[in-house]
Each structure stands twice: as structure tokens, then as C-alpha cells.
Amino acid sequence: MSWKACRAWATGFLSGVCIVYLFSVVLLPPGFTQSRPSDYPPRWPATFRNQALADPADGPATTKELTPRVQEKIERPNENAQITEARITHLFNAWSALLNTTGDDILKRPDVPRPPHLENCRLSVEKNKKFDSRGDDGTFPPWTLWKGSLGLELFNQAKNKNWAANANPDGQYPPWIAGSDEENYPQTRRVQRDLWVHQHPPDCSDPSLHVLVADWEKLPRLGIGAQIVAMSGLLAIAINEKRILVTRYYNRADHDGCKDASRSSWSCYFFPETSPDCQRRAFELMRSNASLANGAVRVKRSFDSRKMWSADVPRLWGEPWKHMQPTTEVNGSFIRHHRRRDARWWIAQVTRYLMRFPTEYTCGLLNSARHSAFGMQAAKLVLESIQNAPQKVLAIRKNCEMERLVWSDHRPYLPRPLLSMHVRMGDKSREMAVVGFDKYMELASRLRRRFPNLRNIWLSTEMQEVIDGVGLYPDWSFYFTRAARQRGNQSMAAYEASLGREASTKNALVNFMVATEADFFAGALGSTWCYLIDGMRNTGGKVMSGYLSVNKDRFW
């Protein structure tokens, strides 16, 4: 072949390649580009795929003929989804069987993955008891720079006798405060430490020790929020008079769910306000007429009850409330100042102290609520995470040191980001401006505009009409407790009575505790319950999360 012939052949071949390439680009199916997609080879549309797979001998495929094949292709993932749903349900049921068991029982079941939304209640309570008790010789608790189980592991009194003997409470801060100082109300860590020290003296048998013994308020018209506000006043009186506060009868714990000595006591739900030794000493003094006469013990009925509701806030820490900056928005306006800052700051500190450690009973209530609300979602996440995990990873012990000492201190799973929303209506119209559920959802939309990944709402309300209204917002995921709710405008006292003492208290406390852990909060400033939730969040590292309210209250 001559050189000219070769050149002509090569030119023709290359021209043909270019033409084919150009036609392939122009005729690519819709949705495809020249660049290689991330899921290369490309996933062709179902209709095009079925058409390509049609037998040429059958002639051109019509739309009617293609329809069954398209449906067949679409239905296959649904079949897989049903299998996945069965596995999710199976794991959910396995976790349900473990709800009333201990964390050790879970560790003994290698076939059951760890439930990320459930807390090991027994382990948590055992750990917190060490953080809430002095040593046998009156030494300070092991509050170290390390959190949780890791701190207890590093703080071995047998190896650190010198540290234990010289432990200075002024340099140690309580482990129940989360976040930095800037993320909490002013001086929160110092106040919480001093409250604990005041309520837990090294020697409760000291003759100079004076006490204030008080029952919780039990008027039917007073809710849990009002009871806590009243007890905040009593603790202020006790501190100002240099007394230890010891509480007695708590009507909301007077039911069969609270066992043995915890029945009718705050300690059914949370750790007691003082040590068992000081409780025993206070009750001994109560039986002594001489102690009542000389003032060693004082009871609530010995002073005007109005003083309890308007007690002077202790000035041991100066006036830190003057440095408080509200992070609250009402009707689109940022609140910069409000009245009664001292009361707001003090009630928040007392609420945090009284609820510093939940009991095993309360921990179990929270586990049940999370499992009911998030259990299926958690099961799906766990199954997806282990589906393609290397066998080497799956073989790692559940109770390895990293799990036991470090990761065990992480809070149980919640679908985040999570907005807690407390919708207060009903008889509250006598005390504040009441608005509809749609106004609260406007606040949720306000948050989503800034945080577009926000999809989850923990909804607490006493009104059934609010629960019925969640269907109007399909682009939100709502979670709420399974409790009977009221229809109409009955009083809160009547509503709680219809639920029963045990169920109403359980429902309220579960909603309260979840609200304190949520990423954001929306409510009504006129509600005492919202007032306490906001205070609990602002002593739990949530100051910079903000608070969106549908109204103002009498203090703003």
C-alpha cells in the first residue's frame, strides 16, 4: 500500500471515530453528562432499561407493554424494604425485652447489638452515687477533670491518698454541669458546687447543725412547676439562715411505682437534696421538743407562706444575675432586659441542683419513652451501620475500655437536630395570651430557615387538638409520649387527676428531661413549666441555643 493510501485510510478512520463520539454525546439519554457520575456505571432510567431489554423479535415495545415491566422493577426495592422492616422490627422487639433488664444482661447477649437510645441505668446510678457522696472519712467526692467513668477509673483513692486527703472543694466542680462557663448562666459551676457542699456537710451529727424540714406543696391547683418554685424559696430561706434543707412528703411520689423508702419522697425521681445521714439527723431533731424550742430545727409552718414565694435570693455569690443576657426572641424581637432576673437565675440553679441525678426509676422511664419514640429509628441506624462492617470491627467486645470508660459517658441517642416544643393552652388563658399550634410551628419554621437540616420535633402538650394537628405538617417528624390528652378547656388539675398521679407525673417529667437535652426550644414565656425548662437548659450548656416564645410573661 502506498504512503498516500495509508494517509487517506488513517484520516478516514480518525474522522469516523470523531463522528461516532460526537453522536454519542448528543444522543446521551436525559440526565446523563459527559463526566463520569459518582455511581458509575450509570444507572439508566427504569423505562429506558426495560425498553433496551425488550426482545427485538416482539417488535417495538408500546407504552402499555412497558408499564408492567417498569412496575416490576420498581416493586423489587419494596420487597427488600419489607425484609429490612422485618429485621428492624425483630431488633426493636429484642431491645424491648431488655428494657427491664440491666446493662450487664445486654453485654451477655452478643447476638443483640447495643441499643444506642437506651441508658445503662444501674451503671449510671452507681457511678453518680460516687459523685454524690463523701468518703467514709468525710473526704470530698471524686470530682476530677475527667468525666464519668474515666474520672472514677483515674481517681483511685488507694493510689491517690495524698490527693484525697488534700482535696479542696474550691478547686473542684460538679460533674452534672455540661458546656463551658459561657454556655451557662453566670457562676453556675460555682453555685452548684456550693449548694452541694452546703447540703452535704462532712459531719451531720455536729451539734451546731441547724435544719429546715419541709413538705412539698400539695395543693391540687399547683403543678410540678409551682412545687419546684416553692421549694426554691425554701432553699433560699435555709441558706440565708445557715440551715440544711430536708424535704419530706412529696405527693406526686405517693403511688405504687415508687418503692420502699422512696415512696412519697422526691428521691423516687431524683437524688435526694441532702445526704441520708443528714436526713436521719433532721428527723431525730423533729422528735425533740427541745430542738424545736431552741431553733435547731425549723418547719415550714413556722413562717408566713408568702415568704416562701418571695424569698430573698442568697447573696453569697454577689449578684451574678446582673450579668445575665437573655437569649430569647418574642415576635421576632430579641429580648435584652427583663425584670426579676434574680428570681429567674436562682430558680434555675435550684432546679438544676434538685434534678442533678435521676434515679434508676426515672432513668427507666426515660428509656421506655425513648424506645417508644425512637426505637425503630435507632434499630434501622444500627442495622445499616453493621451491614457492611468488617468482621474484625464486629468482633470487638462491647465492654472494651474505650466503650466502658469513654463512650459510656455520652448521652443516649436522640434524632438530631431536635427541637423541643411545649404547647400550653387550656386553662392557661387566665394567666397569659394563648395562641394556636400554628403560631408555634411558625417558630419552628423560623428555626429551620437558619438550620435547614432541622426536621425533628419533640412535642409536649396537654391538648389533643395539637396532636391531631401534626398531620398538617408532613415535612416534619413529630415525637411525643403516649398519654391521654384533654379535649376542651378543663383545668390542669382536672386533667392530671384524670390521668392519675403516677401517669401524670411520669409524663410531665419525661417531657421535661427530653426538653432539657434537645438542641432547640420553643414555648411560651407565660408558662411556669417553660420557665423551668429554660432555666434547666441555661444551666446545662444551652444558653447559646436560644429560646423562641409565642408570648411574653409578667416578668418581661
For residues 357 and 125, what is the distance between their CA atoms, to the nearest angstrom? 8
The alpha helices in 395-499, defined as continuous H runs, are 401, 437-450, 464-468, 492-499
Per DSSP, the chain holds a count of helices (H) and strands (E) of 21, 10
Supply the pTM of this predicted model: 0.82
Average pLDDT over residues 2-9: 56
| Residue 339 pLDDT greater than 80, yes or no | no
Cis peptide before 169 (omega within 30 of 0): no
| Residue 187 pLDDT greater than 60, yes or no | yes
For residues 282 and 267, what is the distance between their CA atoms, to the nearest angstrom? 16
Of 67-71, 266-270, 438-442, the poorest mean pLDDT is in: 67-71
| Residue 510 pLDDT greater than 50, yes or no | yes
Residue 252 in contact with residue 224, Cβ under 8 Å? yes
Of 270-284, 334-348, 357-371, the poorest mean pLDDT is in: 334-348
Show the cell assigned to 236.
433560699
Show the cell assigned to 263.
415512696
Average pLDDT over residues 309-327: 93
Residue 358 is classified by DSSP as: B
For residues 47 and 66, what is the distance between their CA atoms, to the nearest angstrom? 7
Average pLDDT over residues 355-373: 97
Whose grid coordinates read 451477655? 108
Show the cell assigned to 537.
437548659
| Residue 19 pLDDT greater than 60, yes or no | no
Residue 523 in contact with residue 421, Cβ under 8 Å? yes
Residue 167 corresponds to which amino acid? A
Confidence of residue 363 (pLDDT cuts 50, 70, 90): very high
Provide the pLDDT for residue 107.
54
- 215 SS3 class: coil
Provide the pLDDT for residue 477.
98
Provide the pLDDT for residue 126.
94
Average pLDDT over residues 75-82: 48
